Structure 1
Amino acid sequence: MAGKVCLVTGATSGIGYETALGLTRAGAQVGIVGRDPAKVERAIRAIGAAVPGAVLDPFVADLSAQAEIRRLAAAVLAAYPRLDVLVNNAGAIFDRREVTVDGIERTWALDHLGYVLLTLELLDRLKGSAPARIVNVASAAHLRGHVDFADLEGARSYGAIRAYSQAKLGNVLFTYALARRLAGSGVTVNALHPGVINTGFAKNTRGLLGFGWGLIRPFLRPPAEGAATSLHVATAPELAGVSGRYFSRCREEPSSPESRDEAVQERVWEASLRQIGRAVL
């Protein structure tokens, strides 16, 4: 990865941090994206200490807010004449329904639309840097997900797991729809399940969800293992040119039947672009 430039969202802790660390160890210049400036700086110091000579750049943004995503993209474009790898990793689960500054349910806004908007804002730079890769960190939770087009944002009925599973399904659907549009461009896009990992996921939730996650967290795999598939998809030479696939445990696996429905892919593509204020491509 020497000479490559990578951007990792949600890179201040957990899987995102380990992904950024792995890319840095492989020789890449890495942009560290996080919401908290202090945590971004802390991650850069830690990675710099672990990898002497590391080239790291801080970027701060709340990826649930579309104006902040656009500001982040502008900063990335100003900083990087080329971009070889984009890892969309940032995400969270919310036990209660919340609405963002854009008036969109927060799980869908952060976990799905954040991927869509940042990717499209940076897409021309990725194309200009081809061969380039887009890595969308989804989840096996998508297997239980269903896109409820009649209540996409849970306004009538909200459940944390249901909202999260739908957003992760959205990641996979977006990956497949984008892969078709990128055919022949030299830019690949793939989705993955990192595993069930001991991270800060669900740490801010309350009730049974927060209690249950707290009980099982000590028994989960460490973040470094969770980053393995992200690093594989981002760097493996044998995946050059491979696009529109879903990976788990560093190998290709089938995603859910709904995720492979091209009609659903296109409906989510169109709905997502409308929500971020872009013309349908």
Structure 2
Amino acid sequence: MSRTIVITGASDGIGAAAATMLANPGDTLVVVGRSAQKTQAVAKELEADFFLADFTDLAQVRGLAEKLGNKYPRIDVLANNAGGIMGARELTVDGHEKTFQVNHLAPFLLTTLLIEKLVASRATVINTSSMAHRIMAKYDIDDLDAVKKYSANAAYGNAKLDNILFTIELQRRYGDHGVSAAAFHPGVVGSGFSAESNRVTKFMYGSLMRRFMLTPAQGADTLVWLATTVPGEDWEPGKYYAKRKVATPTRTAQDPALARQLWDRSAAMVAVK
């Protein structure tokens, strides 16, 4: 059966590599990106559909959800891959800290707006997290927008922890209705995700250091594995993965009560039920 696969953050890095690896003549591949030039180029090369959306603007995320919902009768895989490390604290047009919105709040909104279609399609939802949640996060559920205290690395670590908590709660709420959710750590990948970060982080992930990092294709391997195998048989939904195996996130990232809190607060922020 033909499948529809949607990948956000697909104009570069892991997302573009995953799109290339998932391109199948029998399926409908949909790439989503912020850059018109890059996204169109990926779509043209892969003969894929494409949409543009800047996740710093939730109105664009709502528009994307509407377009996807209207165009595709089903969505079999939604890969929430868009994200990145930012620099100095900055608010989006929606009034949220940029790292938090791009990495968590926008994909949360996209997923919840599409949830009826995802349930009907018995879809797999894949959230790109990171081991950064373990080494960078300084998590405070009462300060999601980092008003009290901010650092670029902590904001990124917190957002990647959000991805895992979101996966847990998505599975709890909709697993019995057919949705299979997973989060994964791609490894330390040489890509453009740190383009808006500070100088130290740019150096850590920049061109000089890339020789020691995974390629985008290597980083996309677990995403592709989750997207092409059978949940419940080949992997267990609701878990966090690294190198195609269940990995153990921090104790905070495994807290079901915290996962529920994050869902409720995120829903209130984006005004969805």
Deviations along 1:81-117, one digit per CA (max 9) or x if unpaired, are 1110000000011111111010000000000111210
1:126 aligned onto 2:118: yes
Look up the SS of the partner of 2:176 in the other structure. Answer: coil
Report matched runs for 1:1-281 at 5 Å. 3-25=2-24, 27-48=26-47, 56-130=48-122, 132-144=123-135, 145-214=137-206, 215-237=208-230, 239-240=232-233, 242-279=236-273
4+ runs deviating over 6 angstroms: none
- Structure 2: how far apart are the matches of 1:247 and 1:67? 31
How far 1:27 sits from its partner (Å)? 4.1
Superposition TM-score, scaled by structure 1 size: 0.91
Shift of 1:183: 2.7
TM-score, length basis structure 2: 0.94
Moved more, 225-234 or 182-191: 182-191
Q: Cα distance 1:270–1:196, how it changes in 2: closer, same or farther (>3 A)? A: same
Offset at 1:147? 2.4
Partner of 1:53: none
Q: Match for 1:226: what amino acid?
A: G
Which residue of the partner structure matches residue 52 of structure 1? none
Letter in 2 for 1:135: I
Which amino acid letter does the alignment assign opposite residue 143 of structure 1? Answer: R
Q: What secondary structure sits across from 1:177 in the alignment?
A: helix
CA contact (8 A) 1:146 1:166 kept: yes
Cα-Cα RMSD: 1.6
Deviations 1:202-233 (A, max 9, x none): 12333322233324223211100011000111
Residue-by-residue CA offset, 1:27-66 (whole Å, 9 max, x unaligned): 4211110012221111112224xxxxxxx11101012211
Code of the aligned partner of 1:221: L
What residue ranges of structure 1 are gaps of 5+ in the alignment?
Answer: 49-55
Q: Using the alignment, how far apart are the partners of 1:200 and 1:98 within structure 2?
A: 19
Partner Cα distance (1:187, 1:85) in 2: 10
Q: Identity, % of aligned pairs? A: 36
**Equivalent residues of 1:190, 1:245 under 8 A apart:** yes
How many residue pairs match? The answer is 270
Which amino acid is the alignment partner of residue 129 of structure 2?
A: A
Give CA-to-partner distance per residue, 1:110-140, whole Å, 9 cap, x none: 001112101001111111112x200011111
The 2-side partners of 1:216 and 1:134 are apart by 31
Q: Distance in 2 between matches of 1:235 and 1:93?
A: 28
Contact conserved, 1:133 with 1:189, CA < 8 A, in 2? yes
Task: Give distance in 2, aligned partners of 1:15 and 1:270.
Answer: 30
The CA deviation at 1:244 is 0.5
Say which SS state the counterpart of residue 258 (structure 2) adopts. helix
